[in-house]
Every structure is written in C-alpha cells, then in structure tokens.
C-alpha cells in the first residue's frame, strides 16, 4: 500500500498527515517548530512513521507547505499553504456541505480564502505583516494574564457584561492596553473576552473581502479555542463549521495533493 | 570634574566605521544581491542582457558615474519633459530611488506611513551621493505626487536647486491642458537660462526624434512580449527600462534593438523563457526600481511571467509619442506638453478612466491571466485606486492580487506565499479554461 505525506511547517507548529491510497488519514502529528524547522520536521516524520508502523520508504510522495516548506528538501513538491488549506478544508469539511469560505488563523498570520463550486481558490486575503489577530497575539495576551492558552476558552465564557474593547491592532500595543485594563481592575475574564472579540472583528473584516458564503469553515490552532469560536459566531450572527482536528487541515491538503500528484506522475 | 580616557572598558577592540562609507557599502551590498538574483537566479538569460547587467554593476556596485561632461538635470517624476532637457544640451537623470538603505535613512524626513520611494529618494539626496552621476546641476519637480511636492523644501534645505513645474490634477479639461502647456513653456525658458543655451527649432526637432527612437525601441521590445511562449522574462524588461533612467539615450536605444534582434530569433525558434504553464502576469502600481525589483522577481520565481506592465518605471515612460502638427518651435513645445499630460495614467488625477482603459487593453492584447497590483504602503493614491481597478478587471474576468509592500527585504515569507498562492490559482484556472476549450472542439 503506498502512503502519501503532507508536511505543514508553520511558524509555531509542524503538522504532518499521512494518507493512504484512498485519501484516508492513517496518521497525524502536531509538534512545535521551534527554531530548527528542518530538523524537527524530519524527526517528527520519523516518529509518526514509527507510531503508525510503517517505514519512511513506504511514503511514495511528499508535499511540503507552510512558511518552512522550502526547507524540507526531501519533499517532492512544495505548495503554498493557501492552496493546501483549500484542498484540505474541502475534504475535512465534507460533512458540513460545500465549503466556499475558509477562515484560517495561524501562528503568525490570519487569512480568508474564497473557493468556487469545485473547490478552487478564487481569491484570498491575508493580514499584513504583524501579529495582529493571530495565534501569536493570543500567546502574548495569555502570558501577560498568567494563564495558559488552553484556558482562554474557559475564561471567555465566564466574562460578564459588555466585552471590553481592545482597540490596538498590534500585539505589542495590545499588551500595553491589557496592562492598562488590568490597572483599572478589570477581570481577566472580561479582558480575555475583549481580546477574542477584537480578533473576531478583524478576521470578519478580512473575510468580507473574499465573501461570506453559506458555510464558513474555521481552522488553524486557534480554532481549538472555543471562546474565540463563540466570539466569531456572535459577531457573524451565525454558526461556523469547525473540523475535528483544526490544526491539520493544511497538512491534510498537502497529503491529498501528494496522492494526486503521484497519480499524475504514474500516468 | 572632567576625566579623559576610554568611554568604556571592553573586551573587544573595534573601530567605528564612518557613517557615510558604511551607507555606501550597504548600498553596494544591496545592489550586488539584487543583481545576482536577477542575473544568476535564472538560467539562459539573453546574451544581449549582459550589457545591462554590466551597466548596473558598474554604476551601482563599482561606483562608476556617467555623463561627466554635460549639464545633468535630476528629475523627480517622469512628467518632466525629457525632450526639452535634451534640446538644451542637458541630460535628464531620474532620481527615483529603490534602495532599502536609503529608505531607512530617508525615513528621518518623512512621517512613518509614507512612500518608500520618496523616503529612499530623500535618503539618497541627503547623502549627496547619487550613484549614477557625480553631480546634479539642477532638479526639476513636476508637482504630481503630494509627498514629493512636500519634500521639496527638505531637498532645498539639503542644498539642491529645485525647479517646480506646476502639474494639473484634472486631465480632461481644456483649462488643465493650457495650464500644463504654460508650465512646460516656463520650464523651457528657465532651463535655457540655467544652462545658458537657446532652444532652437533644430535642437527641439532633434530631441523629439531622439526620444521617439527610444520609444520605438521600447515598443518593439513590448511587442515581442505578446508572443506566447515569451522570449524573455519580465525581470529583465524592468532592468532594461530602469537603465533608461540614467544611460546615454542613444546607446540605450541601440542596445534595446540589439536585444530585440536576439529575442526575435528566440521567437522564431519557439523558445520559451518561462515554463509551459506559467501564467501571464500584468504588473501595475508602484514602480519597481532597482534594486527593489523584488515583486517581479517573486512572481517569476513562483513560475509566473510578467509580460506587460502599467507603471512609471517601464510602460508609462514610453507611452504616447509627441505628435507635432507644424514643426515650429512653439508648436513643438506644446506638442511635447500634450504628450506628457494626455498619456499619463498616474493615480494622482481626479478621475482615472485612462488607467482603467489601458489596463483592460493591455490585459487583452497581451493575453493576460492575472494582474498583480503593488502599492508602496503609504502611497495613498495607489492604495485608493486599487478598488476601482479591481472592479474594472472583474468586469472582464481578470483576477487581481493586491499587495502593499515597502523596500524591506525581510518581507519575503508572507509576500511570497501570497504570490505563490495567486500563481497556483491562476494555473488551475488556466488549466480549466484549456479543458473547456478542448471540450468544445
């Protein structure tokens, strides 16, 4: 049985997905990318193969994606994370219906992708160059509030009253704004909710540029944060679709592309 | 109590470099890096490109200057009429600058959110070190761009002599046409006094022809880009047009023709400078100026090919030729004025139907798959016009990618991801259209 690997080397995490000849997921792994993208990606792939019980040589074709995609020299092909995300979302979101709008929040950027009926990328929008409204922004805020990133969701739902406004679009300035709010004796809960709503507003503004279609699919690590999901839903006024494993959509897309490319190569 | 001695004790002895020589060294390093990726980052460059690679190397990396014997007139915008400068025996040298090093030092004179090009130009002028020439006799500034216009007093404070040419913001009216004609006439008089030469019917006619020959050479080069497959990559075209900023115009014209001869052979042989599936890109917006050719380079590194552009560092330099009714001196000067105003598609104008028309026209004639629109962050007019251009292109079914950039080299990751994703989506689109075409047959 041939296997296909999709490796998504992001700014915060390395995500690997292995699929079989039917395009079904046989293994997945998320690990920190740290400072040595290439080394950690290789180690992570070895570990995943071991866990799944296959040999690395059983992998017929590998596609890498993400910021570190070009560093993974063993890849047969590289692809931008936008195209990979689109392919992955169509598969992972099959049970929701036809996905035509994707919101992705990553470690250092956020993006919205618009797809056509067939799943091809028709347009996309990305935030510019700073950590505003990204996973990094949540990290910085959580660190300042002395809570774990995983706890942010819990805090969100414990907030009371109107959410506080965090107006700064920059992670660095937002931190000073958070300090200001703490100085005014606002609770951590209210601040967390304020942060979520400010990210939600930003990402919706970005998504409007590509069009808000029926089903909005949200992926990337921050999609695990239920507080943020709720904030986006509240701002949109409707439910959004979250896949079972939001972190690996892009890696899945790369793996599926690997399968497809290999098919082409065979023929 | 004063004390003399070392400022601090340290383990490592070091000598602090003179800021001016450090600046110069950084510039040269930037130029070498850019030139290397243009030249060696791609294989099979046309042989005739060697002249241009070599020219940039000599001027920007080895410090050679040109035009030492003639009055050099620095221009801050392409709306300064070259024909008049040549007719008076001067040499126009475009001062618009593309160095990140200069952008950083020029930032001292500008608000934080302002155009990279203007900042870089100020940074360069402040160093009193213009890479292309060893002196500037005079600077002419047509009042097109607001940021440049407001920079003039700063430039004068640096010790330069600057002449303002008033430029209208509304293109369609008879008043603006007359207004600009007067500006051009006054400029001709002023320059004649400064240089100490008289504008004659003969010299004006010769200058118009000299510029027209350069325009024709460029048009020949662009015509070759209509071919599919393309004979040369867009990064080289930008280098060629950038050379027009400072090279001797006649030598430049001859070199472009030599390049065209070689490219014509490539076309006859069916040679493809890009790859089979490369989407054909039309570039528009803030001008790529050496060494900041990063956007065209990124597009072509991502397997797209820039086959046409609508920008003031290439296409707009050569649009519309002077059309003279009667070869009398004043008719010629007025005809020169008309060429500059009517052909201009700069976003500083109130309405810009001409720019929309030109883009739609280029998209059609050059079989364009997608448009990349770059705006230097802080250039409000380009930023504002982006929406209306996008809408216009949507009407004719051409996708557009809008990017805001500056001169910083570290923007690579996010920017290249966008470019690559755009190229990938164009490829998918192209394949689908091909399928449909084949299906229909």
The domain locations on chain A are 1-93+248-267, 97-242
Q: Name the pLDDT band for B429 (thresholds 50, 70, 90).
A: confident
Q: How many CB atoms lie within 10 A of CB B213?
A: 17
Domain A1-93+248-267 has CATH 3.40.640.10: no
Distances (CA, A) of B57 to A5, B50, B290: 45, 10, 11
Inter-chain touch A122–B414, beta carbons under 8 Å:
no
Chain A touched by B421 (CB under 8 Å): yes
Tokens in use for B215? 């325009």
Rounded to two decimals, the pTM is 0.87
Q: Nearest Cα to A217, choosing from A48, A64, A91? A: A91
Residue B169 in this model has a pLDDT that exceeds 90:
yes
Q: What's residue B2's pLDDT?
A: 60
On the CB side of B432, CA atoms within 13 Å amount to 13
Dihedral sign for Cα atoms in the order B126, B128, B132, B135:
positive
Residue from A10, A66, A77, A83 whose CB has the most chain B CBs within 10 Å, to mutate:
A83
Cα dihedral sign, A204-A209-A213-A219: negative
Q: Residue A191 gets which letter from DSSP?
A: H
Q: What is the pLDDT of residues A159-177, one digit of tens each?
A: 987 778 877 766 677 788 8
What is the longest distance spanned by two Cα atoms in chain A?
A: 67
Residues 112-151 of A with CB under 8 A from B: 120-124, 126, 128-129
CB pair distance less than 8 Å for A128 and B404: yes
d(Cα A17, Cα A193) in Å, to the nearest integer? 33
Name the residue in chain A with its Cα closest to that of B400: A123
Mark yes or no for CB contact A80/B424 under 8 Å: yes
Query: pLDDT category, A102, cuts 50, 70, 90?
Result: very high
**Contact A81/B at CB under 8 A:** yes
B362: closest CA of chain A, how far (Å): 22
B57 touches chain A (CB under 8 A): no
Percent of chain B exceeding pLDDT 70 equals 97
User: Predicted confidence band at B332 (pLDDT cuts at 50, 70, 90)?
Assistant: very high
Q: Write the ipTM.
A: 0.77
Exposure pattern of A38-56 as b/e (b: 16+ CB <10 Å)?
A: bebbbebbeebbeeeebee
Partner residues linked to B284 by β-bridges: B310, B373
B420 touches chain A (CB under 8 A): yes
Q: What average pLDDT does this structure show over B376-382?
A: 95
Query: What per-residue confidence (pLDDT) applies to A178?
Result: 87
Task: Give residue A256's pLDDT.
Answer: 96
Say which residue, B375 or B69, is predicted with more confidence: B375
Question: Using omega within 30 degrees of 0 as the cis cutoff, is the peptide bond preceding B236 cis?
Answer: no
Answer yes or no: is pLDDT of B412 > 70: no
Write out pLDDT tens, residues A107-122.
Answer: 888 999 999 988 899 9
pLDDT the model gives residue B411? 61
Average pLDDT (B340-354) is 93
- Mutation target among B369, B383, B417 for the A interface, most CBs of A within 10 A: B417
pLDDT in tens, A187-235: 999 999 999 998 998 899 899 989 888 899 999 999 999 999 999 999 9
Hey, is the C-beta of B303 within 8 angstroms of any chain A C-beta? no
A243-246: Cβ within 8 A, 24+ apart: A243/A89, A243/A92, A243/A93, A243/A217, A243/A219, A244/A92, A245/A28, A245/A92, A246/A218, A246/A219, A246/A220, A246/A221
Query: What Cα–Cα distance (Å) separates residue A210 from each residue in B243, B277, B401?
Result: 39, 26, 12
The answer to whether the Cα torsion of B375, B379, B383, B389 is positive or negative is negative
Mean pLDDT, chain B, rounded, equals 93
pLDDT at B205 over 60: yes
Q: Can you tell me the mean pLDDT for B271-294?
A: 96
What average pLDDT does range A131-159 have in this prediction?
89
Question: Quick one: pLDDT at residue A127?
Answer: 78
Give residue B142's pLDDT: 96
Mean pLDDT of A2-13: 94
- The CB density around residue B395, as the number of other CB atoms within 10 Å, is 9
Say yes or no: do domains A1-93+248-267 and A97-242 share a fold. Answer: yes
Answer whether residue B110 shows pLDDT above 90. yes
Which residue of B279, B425, B429 to mutate against A (max A Cβ within 10 Å)? B425
Does the pLDDT of residue B1 top 60, yes or no? no
Q: Alpha-carbon distance A229 to A232, whole Å?
A: 5
What mean pLDDT do residues A235-261 have? 94
- Name the CATH topology of A97-242: Nucleotidyltransferase; domain 5 (3.30.420)
Tell me whether B411 touches chain A (CB under 8 Å): yes
The most distant pair of C-alpha atoms in chain B lies apart, rounded to whole Å, by 95
B45 Cβ contact list (under 8 Å, min separation 6) = B39, B53, B236
Res. A129 pLDDT band, cuts 50 70 90: low
Whether residue B3 is predicted with pLDDT greater than 70 in this model: the reply is no
Least confident of A103-112, A123-132, B237-246, B349-358: A123-132
Chain B residues inside the 8 Å CB shell of A133:
none
């Amino acid at each position: 049985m041939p296997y296909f690997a999709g490796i998504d080397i992001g700014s915060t995490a390395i995500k690997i997905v292995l699929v079989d000849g039917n395009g079904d997921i046989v293994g997945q792994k998320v690990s920190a990318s740290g400072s040595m993208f290439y080394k950690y990606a290789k180690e992570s792939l070895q570990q995943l193969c071991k866990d799944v019980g296959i040999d690395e040589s059983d992998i017929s074709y590998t596609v890498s994606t993400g910021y570190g995609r070009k560093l993974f020299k063993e890849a047969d092909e590289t692809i931008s994370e936008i195209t990979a995300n689109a392919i992955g979302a169509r598969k992972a979101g099959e049970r929701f219906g036809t996905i035509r709008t994707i919101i992705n929040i990553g470690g250092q950027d956020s993006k919205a992708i618009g797809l056509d009926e067939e799943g091809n990328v028709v347009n996309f929008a990305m935030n510019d160059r700073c950590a505003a409204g990204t996973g990094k922004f949540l990290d910085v805020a959580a660190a300042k509030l002395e809570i774990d990133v995983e706890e942010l969701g819990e805090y969100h739902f414990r907030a009371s009253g109107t959410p506080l406004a965090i107006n700064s679009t920059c992670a660095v300035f937002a931190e000073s704004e958070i300090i200001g709010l703490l100085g005014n004796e606002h609770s951590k809960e209210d601040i967390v909710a304020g942060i979520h709503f400010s990210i939600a507003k930003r990402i919706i503004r970005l998504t409007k540029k590509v069009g808000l279609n029926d089903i909005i699919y949200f992926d990337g690590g921050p999609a695990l944060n239920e507080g943020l999901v709720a904030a986006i839903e509240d701002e949109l006024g409707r439910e959004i679709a979250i896949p079972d494993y939001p972190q690996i959509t892009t890696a899945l897309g790369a793996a599926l592309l690997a399968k497809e490319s290999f098919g082409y190569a065979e023929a | 109590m004063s004390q003399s001695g070392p400022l601090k004790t340290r383990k490592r002895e070091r000598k602090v470099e003179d800021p001016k020589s450090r600046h110069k060294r950084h510039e040269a390093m930037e130029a070498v890096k850019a030139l290397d990726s243009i030249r060696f980052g791609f294989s099979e460059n046309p042989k005739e490109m060697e002249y241009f690679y070599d020219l940039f190397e000599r001027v920007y990396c080895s410090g050679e200057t040109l035009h030492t014997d003639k009055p050099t007139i620095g221009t801050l915008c392409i709306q300064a009429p070259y024909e008049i400068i040549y007719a008076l025996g001067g040499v126009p040298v475009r001062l618009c600058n593309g160095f990140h090093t200069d952008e950083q030092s020029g930032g001292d004179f500008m608000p934080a959110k302002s155009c990279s090009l203007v900042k870089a130009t100020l940074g360069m002028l402040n160093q009193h070190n213009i890479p292309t020439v060893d002196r500037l006799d005079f600077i002419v500034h047509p009042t097109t761009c607001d940021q440049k216009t407001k920079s003039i007093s700063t430039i004068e404070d640096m010790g330069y002599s600057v002449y303002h040419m008033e430029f209208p913001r509304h293109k369609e009216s008879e008043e603006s046409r007359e207004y600009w004609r007067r500006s051009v006439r006054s400029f001709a008089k002023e320059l004649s006094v400064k240089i100490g030469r008289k504008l004659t019917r003969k010299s004006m006619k010769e200058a118009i022809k000299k510029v027209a020959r350069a325009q024709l050479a460029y048009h020949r080069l662009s015509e070759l880009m209509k071919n599919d497959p393309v004979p040369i990559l867009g990064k080289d075209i930008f280098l060629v047009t950038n050379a027009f900023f400072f090279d001797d115009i006649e030598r430049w014209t001859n070199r472009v023709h030599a390049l065209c001869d070689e490219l014509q052979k490539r076309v006859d042989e069916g040679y493809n400078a890009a790859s089979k599936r490369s989407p054909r890109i039309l570039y528009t917006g803030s001008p790529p100026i050496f060494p900041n050719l990063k956007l065209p380079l990124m597009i072509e590194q991502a397997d797209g090919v820039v086959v046409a552009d609508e920008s003031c560092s290439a296409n707009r330099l050569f649009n519309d030729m002077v059309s003279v009714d009667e070869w009398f001196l004043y008719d010629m000067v007025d005809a020169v004025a008309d060429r500059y105003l009517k052909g201009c598609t700069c976003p500083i104008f109130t309405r810009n139907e001409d720019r929309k028309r030109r883009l739609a026209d280029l998209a059609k004639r050059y079989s364009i798959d997608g448009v990349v629109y770059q705006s230097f962050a802080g250039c409000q007019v380009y930023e504002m016009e982006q929406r209306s251009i996008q809408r216009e292109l949507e009407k004719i079914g051409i996708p557009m990618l809008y990017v805001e950039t500056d001169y910083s080299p570290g923007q690579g990751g996010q920017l290249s991801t966008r470019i690559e994703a755009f190229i990938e989506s164009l490829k998918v689109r192209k394949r689908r259209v091909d399928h449909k075409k084949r299906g229909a047959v």
